[in-house]
Chains A and B, each alone.
Chain A
């Protein structure tokens, strides 16, 4: 699967990338919201994983952008810090499919990606 990961923390980005590559996915990494939107239009990923707090455009804006402008149905997983429950609710309102709260286990993220993959294939 082609997965786009948007996360401004380089170490977290690398960690997620590693975990997903281990699962055999193709991972496209971006470090800010604007770059994410450009890449989404070009590569049309199968799943998007995005942090909420990012430079230029937030994760919420990415969710809204995907649901509004991309004809393909792309599931979005939100990464949020503890205490951002309201933002997560807002993200679901905009059309996000799942969320993971930081600190999170890379294995948990991997399982959630697999679940979305199965759901999409069905």
Chain B
């Protein structure tokens, strides 16, 4: 009887405990949500106020002879001067200026840049870069200076292009391209950390909006000890069709990294000369399956009639992917005779050749 009563008491205590904990959690969630809501509303109110200042700056035309106090570009109303001494309004203003800056150009963009400088936001961004240790604050500072086109900060930013933190160096590299265009690529000479695939694409996208001024140093990048720099240089060769670099690119076929070799094969396909197909065939025997497949795809695009005998030999490979790629390359190279070449192959009626030939016939019909 005693044991049962203790059990019930314990249950009651536990139930009360859970109830209290539940209520505390609900109260905490409620308080947190109402705090967030209040903050959101405050931000919205601030946004409305601050936009009045942005609006004034966007279409501001300074009177030519009249100078404002402290030689400032635009006179900032007193209510804003006081407001912008506080942390939150300053943060809201910075966010809004950056947002507008991304979408506009011309005189309005220049005006916003001047407002950004006049309000000391540039100094704030430099502080983020120099005084904080957290990577996300540094990266944010670099990004901000880059969006606001603060070219005179390049020296401060450039020392981060090979930072150990991936995000900081990504932002610094992007800023270098933003400020200097193709000349900004000189960071490829010094970086020891890898350039991620994403960063490579981002840099290429940024470069696509810059005038092409040639690549000083691309030969050195193609021989870089950093494999990702070679891969990126190969992408540059491909995108900007640097035919004069064919022989330098061809040397990358001797590289030990498979990814570099694959990228090299793809690049050679885009800038091929009469030497490309023999070169790819020369390396074929020593390559792994991925590179062989890339080589067969390359030969499929190069369509050199001299390669037919080599491609026919590859039909005997044990790997079905290689067989199919070789057959496709024959179809592309031999044109209308492609099917005849394949049909003449001794095992044409056996599995998997019968199926491969049927598939290629169907593809040719389309």
**Chain A residues engaging chain B, CB cutoff 8 angstroms:** 9, 11-12, 14-15, 18-19, 22, 82-83, 102-108
If A9-B103, A82-B209 touch, does A15 touch B109 (CB 8 Å cutoff)?
no
Write the nearest CB–CB distance from B177 to chain A, whole angstroms: 15
Residues of B within 8 A of A108 (CB): 105-106
Interface residues of B (CB under 8 A from A): 51, 54-55, 58-59, 96, 99-109, 205, 209
Smallest Cβ distance from B164 to chain A, in angstroms? 32
25 example contacts (A-B, Cβ-Cβ < 8 A) are as follows A9-B99, A11-B54, A11-B100, A12-B100, A14-B51, A15-B55, A15-B104, A18-B58, A18-B59, A19-B59, A82-B209, A83-B205, A103-B102, A103-B103, A103-B105, A104-B103, A104-B104, A104-B106, A105-B104, A105-B106, A105-B108, A106-B58, A106-B59, A107-B107, A107-B108
Chain B nearest CB, measured from A114 CB (Å) = 16
Given contacts A18-B58, A22-B59, A82-B209, contact A103 B51 (CB under 8 A): no
> Quick one: which of A15, A19, A22, A107 contacts B100, CB cutoff 8 A?
A15
CA distance A18 to B58 in the complex (A): 10
- Interface of chain B, helix or strand or loop or mixed? helix
Residues of A contacting B54 with CB < 8 Å? 11
B58 to chain A, nearest CB (A): 6
Inside 8 A of B100's CB, which chain A residues have their CB? 11-12, 15
In the bound assembly, the distance between CA atoms of A19 and B105 in angstroms comes to 13
Chain A residue numbers with a CB within 8 Å of B55 are: 14-15, 18
Q: How far is the CA of A105 from the CA of B108 in the complex (A)?
A: 7
**Alpha-carbon distance A30/B108, docked complex (angstroms):** 23
The distance from the CB of B46 to the nearest CB of chain A, in whole angstroms, is 13
Give the CA-CA distance A22 to B60 in the complex, in Å. 12
- Residue of A11, A82, A103, A104 with most chain B CB atoms under a 10 A cut-off: A11
Instruction: Report chain A residues within 8 Å CB of B209.
Output: 82
Q: Which 7 A-B pairs have the closest CB atoms?
A: A105-B106, A103-B105, A105-B105, A102-B103, A103-B103, A12-B103, A106-B108
Chain B residue numbers with a CB within 8 Å of A102 are 103
Most buried by A among B58, B102, B108: B108
Q: How far is the CB of B147 from chain A (nearest CB, A)?
A: 11
Closest chain-A Cβ to B51's Cβ sits at a distance in Å of 6
For A83, the chain B residues whose CB sits under 8 A away are: 205
Given contacts A15-B100, A15-B104, contact A103 B109 (CB under 8 A): yes
Q: Are A103 and B59 in contact (CB under 8 A)?
A: no
Q: With a CB–CB cut-off of 8 A, which chain A residues contact B59?
A: 18-19, 22, 106
Residues of A within 8 A of B96 (CB): 11
Question: How far is B321's CA from A5's CA once the two chains are assembled, in angstroms?
Answer: 54
CA distance A83 to B51 in the complex (A): 29
Identity of the chain B residue whose Cβ is nearest the Cβ of A102 in the assembled complex: B103
> A92 to B46, alpha carbons, bound, how many Å?
40
| Chain B positions within 8 Å of A107 at CB level | 106-108
Rounded to whole angstroms, the CA-CA distance of A19 and B108 in the bound complex is 10
Alpha-carbon separation in the docked complex, A71 to B105 (Å): 35
Alpha-carbon separation in the docked complex, A102 to B104 (Å): 7
Q: Which residue of B lies closest to A106 (CB)?
A: B108
The CA of A35 and the CA of B108, in the complex, are separated in Å by 29
A106 touches B104 (CB 8 A): yes
Complex CA gap A84/B186 in Å reads 29
A15-B104, A104-B105, A107-B108 are known; give 20 further A-B pairs, CB within 8 A: A9-B103, A11-B54, A11-B96, A11-B103, A12-B104, A15-B55, A18-B58, A102-B103, A103-B102, A103-B103, A103-B104, A103-B105, A104-B103, A104-B104, A104-B106, A105-B106, A105-B109, A106-B58, A106-B59, A108-B106
For the complex, give the distance between the alpha carbons of A82 and B210 in Å: 12
Taking a contact as CB atoms closer than 8 A, the residue among B99, B101, B102, B107 that contacts A105 in the complex is B107
